[in-house]
Structure 1
Amino acid sequence: MNNLSGQLSLHFTPKREKTRLVNCKQVPPLKAGRALYLDDSNKATVYLVETSGGMVSGDDNQVDVTLDEGSHVCLIPQSALKIYPSTSDRASTLKTTVEVGKNAVLEWLPETTIPFQDAIFHSETNVSLTSESTFFYGEILSSGREKSNESFRYKRVKTAMKIYVDGVCQCFDSTNLNWSEVAPQQIGFFEMASYLGSVWYFSPETDHINLQELLSSFEKSKNHRVGAATLDGGLIHFRWLSNDLCLVKKEMELLRESL
């Protein structure tokens, strides 16, 4: 079977009082819908589609998103990303590059990455912001297909998130999970949870955010926990450890609406 090398390049700029998708390069299986305007603002909402149904060993996807000054964009993945079993030592790879200009706003809503048994998945996300950008990015990593008794049965999952503000690296967050070497339930990984969720948020107004007040509105239990940390430069990282995927998504959406 031939491997797929998907490409999706999206370029947004303000025109005629709306944010317009002025350039869209699509190489299957990656696609994007047309820009939708769901309210009275200039915000463009675009759905992201992976048409193959999932990534197999050796597949390599590249996503590039550029927002010019003054743009406002909301990106919504249409479905969860499935990572199928690796038939060799070749990984399924996803590389994402984001550039958000001055006074631009990017909201990237979360979906779930689901590694199947024996899957190998590597992802890298590089984000460039200015001190006057606003950025909301959510992601959820599943332990696997629970109903198929495949939790933590993947071979390897590696992720890396790098965020630069005015050319200075404010964040390098890396996860490296190897079923044969690491017990994902241990402290610092999934612990006893099935889902690891993250939201990265940056804006010129982060100094005015009351984290304790925000966190107090979220549910807390043995099977659902959320915390937050402010990094140098004003970047805020929210993280969930939970066994309730629907609740994680609900709280991420509530967070987006309240920020």
Structure 2
Amino acid sequence: MTYTGYLELEVGKKQDRSVITNSFFDGVLKITRPTYLTGGLPLLTLIHVGGGYVDGDTYKTEVIMHESSRLALTTQASTKVYKSPRFGVNQAMEYVLKPNSELYIKQDSLIPYKDANFTQSTNVYMSSSAVFYYTDIITPGWSEDGKHFQYKKVASKMKIYVDDQLAVFDHQLLQPCEQLDQMMYLEGYTHIGTMFFLHPELNERIIEELREELICDEKFRFGISILSVKGISVRILATSTPIIESFFTKCESLIRGFLNNVEIIEWRKG
């Protein structure tokens, strides 16, 4: 199959340093050279050179983390999904984390504009000794009349397999025809953020401390769920993208503080 954008990465460990052992990209997806952060963590930035997703686009990303390797992966800018009523836009992502590997993914917001139809499927296959961190944000696109939720559909499925067993299945389906601003949906909020963090040292004490430190206000609401494996999922409803970004930054900082001796990732460039 030919994709609009395709990315394949492998990260290994050589002489106590994580390095990109294999990379291939095609179409509109590109990556930067790795920047090594404190502690030798390589940071890669994913770049979309096409300007946005349009009807019929297909994308696939595959990342393999070999034993004891580490990687931080982020995006250059928000992902804009334009009018796509006929075929929609489809994106598939697959991440493989072998024992003691660490993969941190922080994405800029997904912005679906009027009549956008976007479907994403994410599969994670990881060892119980690995670390997986992932965030995404959905922001309603601008429209001439100023109304929110004019996209057709945003569907996102996340499956996380730990030691070959399905541990997490999250299906997020947003269809504005179902009145997303009403009770039991977004309840008046316009932006939604999701975070998954799986770590072999996470425990209930750390999660309770995190809940105590994080307080809701009128600008956002959030919930933290303990997974059946060592990890958490977090969902936040808010009124703007910066609010969610700040919240995730605070979550990350607190968790790393509770875990001790884990450096804070310097995500933003320049």
Asked if these proteins are the same fold (TM beyond 0.5), I'd say yes
TM superposition shift of 1:209: 4.5
Match for residue 216 of structure 1 among 212, 220, 225? 212
Distance 1:45 1:24 in 2: 14
Q: Does 1:95 align with 2:96?
A: no
Gaps of 5+ in 1: none
8 Å Cα contact 2:3/2:60 also seen in 1: no
Could you report, residue by residue, the CA deviation over 1:191-238 in whole angstroms, capped at 9, with x for unpaired residues?
Answer: 211111011010111125522321333342123112101021223101
Question: Where do 1:133-148 residues align within 5 Å?
Answer: 133-145=130-142
Distance in 2, matches of 1:123 and 1:258, equals: 29
Give the TM-score, by structure 2 length: 0.89
Residue 18 of structure 1 and its aligned partner are, at CA, apart by 1.2
Give the percent of matched residue pairs that are identical in Structure 1 and Structure 2: 26
Give 2:76's aligned residue.
78
Q: Which runs of 4+ in 1 moved over 4 A?
A: none
1:117–1:150 CA contact under 8 A, matched in 2? no
TM-score (norm 1): 0.92
| CA RMSD of superposed structures (Å) | 1.8
Number of residue equivalences: 254
Q: Following the alignment from structure 1 to structure 2, what is the Cα–Cα distance between the partners of residues 100 and 76?
A: 17
Write the deviation string for residues 82-116 of structure 1: whole angstroms up to 9, x where unpaired: 00112x42111110001111111111113100000
Q: 1:165 to 1:188 in 2, by over 3 A?
A: farther
Say if 2:192 and 2:237, in contact at 8 Å, map to a contact too: yes
Given that residues 113 and 143 in structure 2 are in contact (C-alpha distance below 8 angstroms), is that contact kept between their aligned partners in structure 1?
no
Are the equivalent residues in 1 in contact too, given 2:114–2:143 (CA < 8 A)? no
Q: What's the offset of the Cα at 1:183?
A: 1.2
Distance in structure 2 (CA, Å) of the matches to 1:94 and 1:109: 16
- 1:226 pairs, out of 213, 222, 228, with 222
Distance 2:240 2:220 in 1: 7
| Structure 1 residues 1-45: Cα deviation after superposition (integer angstroms, max 9, x where no partner) | xx9621001110011221101111111211111111122x23111
Gaps of 5+ in 2: 256-270
Is the 1:196–1:239 Cα contact (8 Å) retained in structure 2?
Answer: yes
| Residue in 1 that maps onto 2:265 | none
Which residue does the alignment assign to 2:182?
186
Instruction: Report the counterpart of residue 166 of structure 2 in structure 1.
Output: 169
